[in-house]
Amino acid sequence: MPQAVQDQVRANRVPQRTSQLALIVDTDLATCHLIRMILHSADMEALISTSSAQAVGLLRDRKFDVIFLDVNMPMPDGLELTRIIRASGCNQKTTVIMITGGKDLSELGRGFQAGANFFVFKPINRARLLNLSRAAYSASQREKRQYQRVELNRKVQVILGGEILEGETIDVSLNGLQVRAARTFATGSRVSLRIYLFPGARPITAVGTVVRLIGPHMAIHLENIANDGAKQLQNVLLPLILALPNHTS
């Protein structure tokens, strides 16, 4: 195995502890190592790839907090890789920072149109790179909080047409909940909900869609929460989310 490949394999061993995990994709290995070193100085972990084709597999298999992509690479180049990221998969909303050696405005425009969030220019400016990475990490944490599920048992009514199912929540996130009831509604059903967060208090009312059936359970995506219900739900869930092991605010 060539030495450069061996070095990259060693560099990409899964870290034992990750606060922020970045992916750096650039055909120039020196640039990859420089960015990785800068991120390490701020206690951030990074995987590197000098092959955009290889990067497609990495992006499919794991979630990253921020992705650095060189614009000019063999196909898929940085623009096409960004389009692939934005089309589907677990990194669809991950911050993408494009790396370029020029300041061609048309190139910047194409990058933003493809779905890039920011650009960094060669030679790499350490302060700008760290600032962008920290902003990306904050955005990533906000996204994780939206989808982080916590065990929470509360009475809930699921309503479709004139039928009301009495049930209880198994787990809840800011974007959805899993409900146990005597029966289920079909996947794709648009339902109304009354979620009783506190005994004796008025329930949160919401509209959602049944997105998955797991035996007698329904996974329901919340699409619209009435009045101040979203704030009430956040006030209940955020302390529980922040108390989870390995969660960083």
Residue 241, pLDDT score: 66
Question: Across residues 63-86, what is the average pLDDT?
Answer: 89
Burial annotation 203-212 (CB, 10 A radius, 16+ → b, else e)? bbbbebbbee
CATH number of 3-147: 3.40.50.2300
For residue 177, which amino acid is it? L
Residue 188, pLDDT score: 93
Q: What is the pLDDT of residues 178-197, one digit of tens each?
A: 999 999 999 999 999 999 98
Backbone angles phi, psi at 104, to 5 degrees: -70, 120
Q: How many residues are present in the chain?
A: 249
Q: Is the pLDDT of residue 176 over 70?
A: yes
Residue 118, pLDDT score: 85
Structural domain boundaries of the chain? 3-147, 150-242
Average pLDDT over the chain reads 82
C-alpha pair distances (Å), 135 with each of 20, 92, 141, 174: 11, 17, 10, 22
Cα distance between residue 89 and residue 133, in whole Å: 21
Contact 49, 23 (CB under 8 A): yes
Contact 94, 63 (CB under 8 A): yes
Confidence at 238, pLDDT banded by 50, 70, 90:
confident
Q: What is the pLDDT of residues 15-39, one digit of tens each?
A: 443 467 889 999 999 999 999 999 8
Q: Do domains 3-147 and 150-242 have the same CATH topology?
A: no
Residue 10, pLDDT score: 45
Cα distance between the two ends of the chain = 41
Cα distance between residue 150 and residue 237, in whole Å: 7
Write out the two tokens for 243. Answer: 């108390």
Contact 197, 153 (CB under 8 A): no
C-alpha pair distances (Å), 137 with each of 16, 79, 168, 249: 19, 22, 34, 10
What is the fold of 150-242? Answer: Thrombin, subunit H (2.40.10)
